Amino acid sequence: MPASSVPHGGRCMHFLHTATATAQLAYLHAIQPSTIHLPIASLGTHHIKARTHKFTGMSLPRRSYDPRRVCLVPLPSLPAFMQTSKRQAGIYLSGALFALGWWFFLDASIISSMRLRKPIDPTAPYDPPATYITFADWVPGLCGTLGMIVVNLIDKQHLTDVGAAFSFGGGGGGSFATDSVQWRARLFLFIGFALMAGGLAGSITVLTVKYLVPALPEGYEYYGVANVVQNASIMFSTVLLWLSQNTESEYDSSRLPLDTMSEPAPVHILIVGAGAVGCFYASKLHGIHSGRDVRVSLVCRSNYKQIAENGVQLETHSFGNYHFTPYRVFSSIKQAGDYTEGGAFKWDYVVVTTKALPDITNDALDIAPLVTRGVHGSCIVLIQNGVGIEEVHRAEFGQNPIVSAVTVISAEQIRHGVIRQNRWTRITMGTYTNGQAKPNSLLSDSTLLDQLSSVTDKHIHQLVSWFTATGIRDAEFASELSLQQTRWHKLCINASMNPSSVLSGGTPNARMALDPELRTHLHACMNEIFTTAPKILGIEFDAKKHASPDRILKSTERNTGGKPSMLLDWQAARPMELEVILGNPIRIARRNGLDMPRLQTLYALLKMAQTRKAEDANPPAKL
């Protein structure tokens, strides 16, 4: 090999610096993508129509669906024909880099072996080589390859905090009090990149100490250079594979102009309850998904004027800051029910995200003007707390698909039309036909049950695919029974901490968990649900998916400053979700011949406290 083609030690050190910086960037991007800000040239940006999202800010893009820019001045985007296969091209290129790196090293090893081999003819002259490749030369490449394997075996979903601190079931994700899953994932990611960085550093050390410092004949440097090229290729291959795997497999059609697409009929989704949760999930559903124009509209109350005029501004931990313009904004359910688009019209999905207050209002009757009846009519999606919330809807809409959903999200409306998402995005959805399989089930026709279950499952898979395409990777499907189990598990937190916080004078969650007497009380409430729910549902909680009371309380200790929603409602003199969080579980247990004395005590005390507070606020007129 010509000496001129062999890089000098200084060039190798510069190469190491560049590769190490790339590895550090990829590692930081993987564990906290929304907080990296770099003043470097953009690799490209996507222009999205104002009717979907308008992103702001300057940060490294987290995913291909997150078009926040690295720099203020955008560079031209890749052509569409290149976008469509960028994931596949990235994976192939990554494999080529990995193979090329090992090819260089194996080539050097073969040359070394040939030089070391003695001639068959003992009389032929033999000059022993000045040096040759030994196990020390193999170690860096083996470390780099091991690091690559470790990095790409990690479930990337656990690296961010999305859903990592909670798991109410439904499969996958972290669990409440199991944020060690996230910690372990990040630890293994660090170990993987450390192995690759160590391999690259080791190869440069071998090149310098073994091949450059000693006065060796020309050509022996190739052994060391091949080692460096091998480890650099492995590192770059890993980074490229990581980025490629996080790229959507198909070009996101939401970035194409509408007039260039032949679309099927648009999908109309109506969110009833434009609060923090409703607006956040609405913003992720709205847009073009796999050729379908999904149009999300909102029914607003106190924030109607601001959203109708300015749309919704979202400040999110998971996706940065962006703007969401709903397709239509209505001030009432009646107005939304009267809406038409010049002909026959139906709301394909009616998504209810309001508080469930059956003691005050019947949600099913409220949304009745919005629902097209029948198996192939409107699909009703219930994103609400508590258990037993679906029964009134099944009673009213006997043949409509009903999706029951449980979320794990920390979000708040900091002012009208401005939503802040603090942590988590998880949403688990399951079919609701009969709920609990009781003899007096509302649906008894097995043919209708099968048809309804099949149609609802298709709706759920469609919703999951739309959420996943826009970055909510922990949107998931659950069976009907599994979803109800998830609801009961979430009740462990809501039914114990929410009322206890109110009755103890507004004590935050963490302080309750640290107080010996309150901790004992909370543990007993959770354990009551843990022992009762399996008897009602007929299945035990899975320890891998559902955190135990001890683990929940341990995690709560670290959630300083957290206030339950019921406490916030109490302090604001708003109605609390007493019935769905306490009343319904007690009544369902009684129907099954079971008692829940802890929850019964909380329910009785808090219900009277709410009644007395309402009486004090509105005293009867004196005669």
Q: Which domains does the chain have, with CATH numbers?
A: 3-36+48-63+84-245 (no CATH), 268-478 (3.40.50.720), 487-614 (1.10.1040.10)
Cα 322 → chain centroid: 17
Residues 6+ apart with CB under 8 A from 588: 387, 388, 436, 536
pLDDT at 29: 44
Q: Which amino acid is at 27?
A: Y
Closest CA to 145 of 205, 202, 91: 202
How much is the pTM?
0.65
pLDDT at 124: 81
pLDDT at 254: 38
Angle, to 10 degrees, between the axis of helix 221-245 and the axis of helix 180-206? Answer: 160
E strands, 26-140, in order: 53-55
State the Cα–Cα distance between residues 216 and 210, nearest whole angstrom.
Answer: 9
Closest CA to 499 of 583, 557, 383: 583
Residues of the chain with pLDDT below 50 are 1-70, 72, 74-75, 80-81, 83-84, 161-179, 248-261, 436-441
pLDDT at 421: 94
Number of residues that make up the chain: 623
Q: What is the DSSP letter of 235?
A: H
**Contact between 173 and 157 (Cβ < 8 Å):** yes
State the Cα–Cα distance between residues 611 and 84, nearest whole angstrom.
Answer: 60
The pLDDT tens digits for 267-276 are: 999 999 999 9
**Strands 329-330 and 320-324, bridge-based pairing:** unpaired
pLDDT at 247: 56
Hey, what's the torsion of the CAs at 577, 582, 585, 591, to 10 degrees? -110
Cα→Cα distances 566→423, 587, 619, Å:
19, 20, 24
State the Cα–Cα distance between residues 178 and 190, nearest whole angstrom.
Answer: 19
State the Cα–Cα distance between residues 230 and 207, nearest whole angstrom.
Answer: 12
Closest CA to 380 of 344, 404, 398, 396: 404
State the Cα–Cα distance between residues 276 and 354, nearest whole angstrom.
Answer: 10
Backbone angles phi, psi at 76, to 5 degrees: -60, 145
Backbone angles phi, psi at 598, to 5 degrees: -65, -50
Which residue in the block uniquely carries the two structure tokens 């910086």? 21
